[in-house]
Structure 1
Amino acid sequence: MAETAAQSPIDRLLAIMAQLRNPDGGCEWDLAQDFSTIAPYTIEEAYEVADAIAGGDPAAICDELGDLLLQVVFHSQIATDDGLFGFDDVANAISEKMERRHPHIFGETKTDDVRLQWEQIKAAERASRASDGPTSALSGVALSLPALLRAQKLQSRAARVGFDWPDVNGPRDKIAEELVEVAEAASDAERHEEIGDLLFAVVNYASHLGVDAESALRDANMKFARRFAAMEARAGGSLSGLSLDVQESHWQAVKASERP
């Protein structure tokens, strides 16, 4: 499908997806998909964008953003086929939302506290979507978020209405308390619950220190993977069969090699 002079890149992509979903000559796999089957790919593509950004390769970022854009177009075409909404509706909805949330830019409302205004507008939006009474301050925090990121968002929402420790001592003491409760847990179910509470407390502690827990853990994962690969290289390609003491010596050597 060649792009005509009058056809924009986004119109070309929309036309490609419409043809892929066309019962007359379309792609069998694309035609078989629905919102639920495509959702995992949408999440995966978002992570691949983040990986490309972390890698600092503009070409990779461009490529992965294209894959993510395809997901929006795919969902929009599914909705069009079902008579629900179309791509233009998606684009108009987000445009209206951004203008609504930035009255100091697109309207006449001026404020010295843009962040507070943003949160007030979002709260009003949540309230307007409620059909049965007032909504919770935690409404709208997606269940499908990674657990660590969702914990951050839940805690941030709670803190906005004053439900949080006044200083860093509270969450630090909470971690110590949760560690004791983990040690005292008598069953797998109790340990499961207490470990969850411990992780939740660590996320809160990180927030009080001004640390993004999701980003910190992501960096820690990358550091561990890098160091582990270096250990394997020092050991001739594999750590299998080496004693823990020998493996630890390789670990310490790798750490020492990273010091300036």
Structure 2
Amino acid sequence: MSPTYTIDDLIYLMSRLRDPDGGCPWDLKQDFASIVPHTLEEAYEVADAIERKDWSHLNDELGDLLFQVIFYAQLGAETERFDFSTIVSNLVAKLVRRHPHVFPDGTLHSPPAERTLTDDEIKQNWERIKQQEREGKEAKGVSRVLDDVPKALPSLSRAVKLQKRASQVGFDWNDAELVLDKIEEEIAELREAIQLGNQAAVADEMGDVLFAQVNLARHLGVNPEDAVRGTNQKFERRFGFVEDNVLKSGKAWSEFSLDELDQFWDQAKAKGL
């Protein structure tokens, strides 16, 4: 029978991997920066398993993601910055602080609140508490509105966070229709850059168009990452249908005109793919 391990066993395992005397050569070479790409990859693999409803693999992927946290904790302990226990303690304290509707007296074991808050009230409390936390950081040198929006986020997700943060100080459109007008304005500027043949301007205006589209998604309550991910999947399904028909024909791709391929695509749409 396989042994059942605990989080303490995982922390011990990590310390062995980083032990200069008999540890793993690869693990010993790593630092905070070098394992960031692996952390991002593991997070995406968790998201992918959930999206595919692949529950058997989700267990493994969550373990891989947890290992990333343990790795950072070991590096923190070695540099005397923090360790796993301080990570957990700070996290619990923050979550208790950010959920006064669950922990009304501000302690982990406080009795339940007398009244259940609405979703809007919970959101307002959350934003107020996060603002208080940001103000606390200002005293430590984080003084600008956008300073602590992580730069390593995927571009669409970071755009949303930048826009939300600016919105909290009143810098925002108050109507989705105005954002649509802005998108049309940016598209006109993109067309002009294309006509001028200025590739640097094209790239700049293309970014403006995408940023404005993210803004519209935010105003409409749509997560742009989720929207594009869904469109990617839809494209894969429909293109797969087109490819199946090309393969069944026995002809090469080059023997089909774009109109003929579009007909397959329209068939895929009609089938709800």
Given the two structures, how large is their TM-score scaled by the length of structure 1?
0.91
Q: Is 1:60 aligned to 2:57, yes or no? A: yes
Alignment CA distance shift 1:165-1:239 (3 Å): farther
1:167 to 159, 164, 175: 175
- 1:181-260 to structure 2, matched below 5 A, reads 181-185=189-193, 186=196, 187-236=198-247, 240-241=253-254, 242-258=256-272
Q: What is the number of equivalent residue pairs in this alignment? A: 255
Quote the Cα distance in structure 2 between the aligned partners of 1:194 and 1:253: 35
Gaps of 5+ in 1: none
Amino acid across the alignment from 2:95: M
- Superposed displacement of residue 81, structure 1: 1.8
- Superposed displacement of residue 165, structure 1: 1.4
Amino acid across the alignment from 2:203: H
Given the two structures, how large is their TM-score scaled by the length of structure 2?
0.87
Which residue does the alignment assign to 1:153?
Answer: 161
Q: Is 1:23 aligned to 2:20, yes or no? A: yes
91-100 or 102-111: which moved more?
102-111
Quote the Cα distance in structure 2 between the aligned partners of 1:166 and 1:73: 43
Quote the Cα distance in structure 2 between the aligned partners of 1:239 and 1:180: 39
Deviations 1:80-132 (A, max 9, x none): 12222111111111111111111232233778522112111111112212247
Which residue does the alignment assign to 2:110?
Answer: none
Quote the Cα distance in structure 1 between the aligned partners of 2:54 and 2:101: 34
Alignment CA distance shift 1:199-1:222 (3 Å): same
Quote the Cα distance in structure 2 between the aligned partners of 1:65 and 1:53: 10
Would the aligned equivalents of 2:241 and 2:268 in 1 still touch at CA under 8 Å? yes
1:74 to 71, 74, 81: 71
Quote the Cα distance in structure 1 between the aligned partners of 2:222 and 2:98: 26
Quote the Cα distance in structure 2 between the aligned partners of 1:3 and 1:30: 24
2:32 to 31, 35, 41: 35
Quote the Cα distance in structure 1 between the aligned partners of 2:23 and 2:141: 45
Quote the Cα distance in structure 1 between the aligned partners of 2:187 and 2:15: 55
Which residue does the alignment assign to 1:104?
Answer: 101
Would the aligned equivalents of 1:102 and 1:118 in 2 still touch at CA under 8 Å? yes
Deviations 1:40-74 (A, max 9, x none): 10011111111111111222211111010000001
2:148 to 131, 140, 147: 140
SS of equivalent residue, structure 2 residue 235: helix
Which residue does the alignment assign to 2:43?
Answer: 46
Alignment CA distance shift 1:26-1:255 (3 Å): same
Quote the Cα distance in structure 1 between the aligned partners of 2:261 and 2:252: 7
Alignment CA distance shift 1:253-1:46 (3 Å): same
Deviations 1:156-204 (A, max 9, x none): 2222222211212100101111110001113111111111111111111
Quote the Cα distance in structure 1 between the aligned partners of 2:171 and 2:183: 17
236-245 or 160-169: which moved more?
236-245
Q: Runs of 4 or more off by more than 6 Å in structure 1?
A: none
- Superposed displacement of residue 135, structure 1: 2.5
102-111 or 60-69: which moved more?
102-111
Quote the Cα distance in structure 2 between the aligned partners of 1:171 and 1:125: 30
2:188 to 168, 177, 180: 180
